[in-house]
Amino acid sequence: MTVWNDEFDDLLRQFLPYIPPDEQLTADTALRDAGLDSLGTVQLLAALEDRFDVRFKDDALTPETFETPGALWQALSTLLNPVE
Using one digit for the tens of pLDDT, what is the confidence trace for 25-59?
A: 999 999 999 999 999 999 999 999 999 999 999 98
Rounded distance between C-alpha atoms, residue 79 and residue 35, angstroms: 25
Q: Which helix (H) or strand (E) holds 42?
A: helix 38-52
Using one digit for the tens of pLDDT, what is the confidence trace for 70-80?
A: 999 999 999 99
Q: What is the pTM of this model?
A: 0.90
CA distances from 11 to 66, 83, 84 (A): 14, 25, 28
Q: How far apart are the first and last CA of the chain?
A: 24
SS3 content of the chain, % helix, strand, coil (to 5): 45, 0, 55
